[in-house]
Amino acid sequence: MSEHLEDIAIAMVAEGQGILAADESTGTIEKRFDSINTKNTEANRQAYREMLFRSKNAMENYISGVIMFEETLHQKAADGTPFVELIKEAGAVPGIKVDMGAKPLAGYPGETVTEGLDGLRERLQAYHAAGARFAKWRAVINISHHSPRAGSIKANAHALARYAALCQEAGIVPIVEPEVQMDGESATHDLSRCADVSAHVLKSVFSELKDARVNLEGMILKPNMVVPATNCTDQACVEEVAETTMRVLMDQVPASVPGITFLSGGQSDIAATAHLNAMNAMYDTPWKLTFSYGRALQASALKAWQGKAENITAASDAFAHRAKMNGLATLGKWNKELEQS
DSSP-derived secondary structure letter, 216: G
- Is 222 in the active site? yes
From the candidates 50, 70, 208, 222, give the one annotated as an active-site residue: 222
239, β-bridge pairs: none
Task: Give the pLDDT score at 10.
Answer: 97
Q: Which residues of the chain, if any, have pLDDT below 50?
A: none
Task: Give the pLDDT score at 184.
Answer: 65
The H-assigned helical ranges of 212-263 are 238-252
- Reference 148, options 203, 121, 109, 92; nearest CA is 109
User: E strand or H helix at 144, and its extent?
Assistant: none
Task: Give the pLDDT score at 186.
Answer: 63
Domain boundaries, the chain: 5-340
- The SS3 call for residue 104 is strand
Task: Give the pLDDT score at 95.
Answer: 98
**Is 300 exposed, middle or buried, given 0-12, 13-18 or 19+ CB atoms closer than 10 A?**
middle
Task: Give the pLDDT score at 144.
Answer: 84
269-282 and 312-329 are packed helices; what angle lies between their axes, rounded to 10 degrees? 30
Topology given in CATH for the domain delimited by 5-340: TIM Barrel (3.20.20)
- Phi and psi at 177, nearest 5°, equal -120, 90
DSSP-derived secondary structure letter, 76: B
113, β-bridge pairs: 103
From the candidates 177, 179, 208, 243, give the one annotated as an active-site residue: 177
- The SS3 call for residue 69 is coil
Asked if residues 16 and 327 have their Cβ atoms less than 8 Å apart, the reply is yes
- Reference 279, options 323, 321, 244; nearest CA is 244
Prediction pTM value: 0.93
Task: Give the pLDDT score at 341.
Answer: 64
